[in-house]
Each structure stands twice: as C-alpha cells, then as structure tokens.
C-alpha cells in the first residue's frame, strides 16, 4: 500500500544520522518526546507544552491572535517579494506599480495579496483586542501583555499607514497629506514632528524614502520584537483566559 510504504520511507529517513542531528528527539509518541518537540524547537519554544482543552475551542479565541500573526507572516513574504520590484523614488515608485500590473508575472496578484493582508491585519488586530477585552483577558496577571498588545496595535496601524504612501498615486499622496496635517495640530511639537517624519514640509521624495525605511525595516523589527514578547508572556502569565472560570468568579461575586 502507498501509505504504508510512505510511512516506511519516513521511518527510514528518521533513522538516518542527519535527521537525528537536526531533531534530537525520537518520534513524538510519548508525552516526553511531545514536550521535547515544543521546547526543544527554537520556533516553538515560546508555546506552552500543554494547553487547556477549553482554550483550544474555536469560540475561545477564533484564532484571532494566530491569524493576526499569520497575516504578518504573509505580509513579510509578499513584502520582500514586492521589494524586488520597487524603487522608493519619485516617480519611479508609481512606474513600478504599473510594471507590477503589466510586466511582472503575477505582479497584480502579489500586490493584491499584500494589500489585502494589510487591511485584514488591521481588522484582525482590532477584533483580537476587543475579543480579549470582552473575555476579561486583560486582568492580572496578564495586564502587561495587554499593554504590549496596545503597542502592537499602534505598530500595525503605523505599518499600514506608512505602506499606504508607497504606491505614490493620488490616493496615497493625499491620504498621507491629510494624515500628516493632523500632526501639525499638536502644540509646540506638531510641526517639528511632521518635518522629521516627512523629511521636509511637504509630502515628497524624502517622505517617500522615510516611509519606505519605516515600512520595510524599522517598524517590522519593532513588530517582531513585540510579537516575541507578546507570545512569550502568554505562557509566562499562565496561558489563555478560560471563560468558564471567569464567569464562575463573576457569578460568585454577584451573590
């Protein structure tokens, strides 16, 4: 049978020294090796080894936090691919958009995916936040992780906003003009901050370059660090909130 021969081949692969040198544990058939699979792996070790089955239910989270992170992964991948075709210069940036539309293979799809995932991430971050709020997930001992989450919300909005300028079309130019004009309403600091952000008094070449660097380097790095802290703290703060206990506590107080 095909399946059994496939399983045999996988078994033989697992027995090789190369495989064993990468994954030191044996097959995950016992709880010990299953634990090792999580904390022995750099990419998984921020996850808990065990999770409450209640917090695995779809209704507990709708996987909103995970989906937000997955959208970020999609954005990083499509973003790096888009960087290969993009020059942060006036008016070449706009011509690159046209090239993506008419010259680059699957360029339209690539840009659609990036744009769509960006909008979806803003929605997902807000939804995740409100969902956590209504479940009481901000309560001690998770209060600091809630604050980190607020930071991630701001980084997400700023990432989306800096990306908005990059196509250098009318939509981008005027949205950024409208937005950055608001900053100058700030007393004392308003105009200097706006000047620093735009590299000038108007949205121009310097602004495009600054937004490009913010969008592709600075903000993603901040986001990665904050996401790392955010994930790590979930485990350190005792896992996800379980609604049932939260309601029980509420019920007891009510009486």
The distance of closest approach from Cβ of residue 1 to other proteins in the complex, given in angstroms and rounded to an integer, is 23
Distance CA 141, CA 138 (A): 8
Residues 83-102 that bind other proteins (CB under 8 A): 90-91, 94, 97, 101
The distance of closest approach from Cβ of residue 121 to other proteins in the complex, given in angstroms and rounded to an integer, is 11
Nearest to 223 by CA among 165, 161, 156: 156
Distance CA 206, CA 197 (A): 9
Question: Which of 9, 182, 221, 225 touches other proteins (CB under 8 A)?
Answer: 182
Query: Counting contacts by CB under 8 A, is residue 47 touching other proteins?
Result: yes
The distance of closest approach from Cβ of residue 47 to other proteins in the complex, given in angstroms and rounded to an integer, is 5
Distance CA 31, CA 51 (A): 13
| Tokens representing residue 2 in the block | 């095909």
Question: Which of 88, 128, 142, 219 touches other proteins (CB under 8 A)?
Answer: 142
Distance CA 234, CA 22 (A): 28
Query: Counting contacts by CB under 8 A, is residue 117 touching other proteins?
Result: yes
| Tokens representing residue 111 in the block | 């840009």
Distance CA 98, CA 115 (A): 15
Query: Counting contacts by CB under 8 A, is residue 104 touching other proteins?
Result: no
Residues 220-239 that bind other proteins (CB under 8 A): 237-239
Distance CA 168, CA 162 (A): 11
In the complex with other proteins, which residue's Cβ is closer, 120 or 218? 120
Stretch that binds other proteins, among 80-88, 176-184, 217-225, 226-234 (CB under 8 A): 176-184
Question: Which of 76, 81, 89, 113 touches other proteins (CB under 8 A)?
Answer: 113
Distances (CA, A) of 65 to 103, 128, 181, 230, 236: 36, 6, 33, 10, 17
Query: Counting contacts by CB under 8 A, is residue 16 touching other proteins?
Result: no
Query: Counting contacts by CB under 8 A, is residue 171 touching other proteins?
Result: yes
Question: Which of 42, 53, 84, 105 touches other proteins (CB under 8 A)?
Answer: 53
């Amino acid at each position: 049978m095909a399946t059994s021969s496939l399983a045999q081949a996988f078994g033989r692969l697992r027995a090789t020294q190369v495989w064993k040198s990468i994954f030191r544990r044996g097959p995950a058939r016992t709880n010990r090796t299953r634990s090792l699979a999580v904390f022995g792996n750099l990419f998984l070790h921020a996850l808990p080894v065990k999770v409450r089955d209640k917090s695995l239910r779809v209704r507990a989270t709708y996987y909103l936090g995970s989906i937000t992170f997955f959208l970020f992964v999609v954005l990083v991948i499509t973003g790096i691919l888009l960087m290969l075709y993009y020059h942060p210069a006036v008016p070449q940036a706009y011509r690159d958009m046209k090239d993506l539309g008419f010259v680059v293979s699957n360029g339209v799809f690539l840009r659609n995916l990036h744009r769509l995932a960006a909008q979806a991430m803003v929605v997902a971050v807000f939804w995740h936040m409100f969902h956590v709020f209504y479940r009481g997930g901000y309560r001690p001992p998770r209060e600091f992780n809630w604050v980190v989450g607020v930071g991630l919300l701001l980084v997400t909005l700023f990432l989306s906003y800096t990306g908005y300028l990059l196509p250098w079309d009318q939509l981008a130019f005027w949205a950024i003009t409208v937005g950055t004009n608001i900053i100058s309403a700030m007393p004392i600091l308003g105009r200097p901050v706006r000047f620093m952000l735009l590299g000038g008094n108007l949205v121009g070449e310097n602004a495009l370059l600054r937004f490009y660097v913010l969008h592709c380097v600075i903000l993603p790095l901040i986001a990665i660090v904050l996401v790392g802290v955010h994930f790590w703290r979930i485990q350190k703060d005792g896992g996800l909130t379980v609604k049932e206990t939260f309601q029980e506590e509420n019920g007891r107080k009510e009486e």
